[in-house]
Amino acid sequence: MTPEFVVGFAQEAIRVTIFVAMPMLGLGLIVGLAIGIFQAVTQIHEMTLTFVPKILVVLLGLMFFSNWMLQQLMDFTRNCITQMPMYIR
């Protein structure tokens, strides 16, 4: 294995990780920002008001994006398995 191969493999693994995590993190960020603005405007600082909507939105996003996320992970895994002879050299 060359250093370029290892760096390329690590870059691909990080790219897949970021792409798979991005929808859930993005949805959580948007909802958290909206709730933070709502709390600042109304001066209501209830802890459950921040967590429950985020959890619900992330779960809905997981249900919506799960097929795409699974496909990305399966493609990466399939690529790793098919290139196994290159890893052994």
Contact indicator for 6, 86 with CB cutoff of 8 Å = no
Domains of the chain by residue range: 3-88
3-7, 15-19, 33-37, 56-60: the lowest-pLDDT one? 3-7
Residue 43 dihedral angles phi and psi, to the nearest 5° = 55, 35
Predicted structure pTM score: 0.77
**How confident is the model over 22-74, as pLDDT tens digits?**
999 999 999 999 999 998 898 888 877 888 999 999 999 999 999 999 999 99
**How confident is the model over 57-70, as pLDDT tens digits?**
999 999 999 999 99
